[in-house]
Amino acid sequence: MVRDGSLIYERALREEYGVKMKLDIYPSLPHIFWNHFADLNATKKHYQDTIEGFEWLLNEESQL
């Protein structure tokens, strides 16, 4: 439910309102997997994606 609602919201913001979006998906992993499975490669990727996401967001904000 969390994932599906988020995907619908992302699509609406992007397609209907033209909001620039960055979306990372981790197939077959549960919600907040990084909290429970610290040793997974996907957890390391999630942390890197989070850093890159904040960099992207801050860069987008500075261009307004």
Among 28, 30, 60, 25, residue whose Cα is nearest residue 46? 25
Among 22, 4, 29, residue whose Cα is nearest residue 59? 22
Tens of pLDDT, residues 3-55? 889 999 999 999 999 999 889 999 999 989 999 999 999 999 999 999 999 99
pLDDT at 47: 97
- Domain spans in the chain, listed from the N-terminal domain onward: 25-64
pLDDT at 7: 93
Burial 1-29 (b: 16+ CB within 10 A, else e): eeeeeeeeeeeeeeeeeeeeeeeeeeeee
pLDDT at 1: 62
Structure tokens at 24: 């990372």
The answer to whether the Cα torsion of 36, 41, 42, 44 is positive or negative is positive
pLDDT at 39: 97
Residue 64 has pLDDT above 70, yes or no: no
